Amino acid sequence: MRNVPPVPDPTAAELDVLRVLWRLGASTVKEVFEALQPTKRVGYTTVLKQLQVMHRKGLVRRSERFRAHVYEPTESQEQTRRHLTRSLLRQAFDGSTHSLLQSALGGRRVSARELAEIRRLLDNLEGGTD
For residues 69 and 118, state if they share a domain. no
Taking the C-alpha atoms of residue 21 and residue 8, their distance in angstroms, rounded to an integer, is 17
Indicate the burial class of 76 (C-beta count within 10 angstroms; 0-12, 13-18, 19 or more): exposed
Mean local confidence (pLDDT), 111-127: 89
For residues 38 and 91, state if they share a domain. yes
Domain count, the chain: 2
Buried/exposed 102-127: b ≥16 CB within 10 Å, e otherwise: eeeeeeeeeeeeeeeeeeeeeeeeee
pTM above 0.85, yes or no: no
Mean local confidence (pLDDT), 8-19: 95
Q: Which residue segment(s) compose the domain that 84 sits in?
A: 1-95
Domain containing residue 33: CATH number: 1.10.10.10
Q: What region does 95 belong to: left with phi over 0, alpha with psi -120 to 50, or beta?
A: left
Do 70 and 29 contact (CB within 8 A), yes or no?
no
For residues 104 and 76, state if they share a domain. no
pLDDT value for 129: 59
Mean local confidence (pLDDT), 2-16: 83
Give pLDDT tens digits for 35-60.
999 999 999 999 999 999 999 999 99
Give pLDDT tens digits for 57-88.
999 999 977 678 999 999 999 999 999 999 99
Percent of the chain with pLDDT over 70: 92
Taking the C-alpha atoms of residue 129 and residue 102, their distance in angstroms, rounded to an integer, is 24
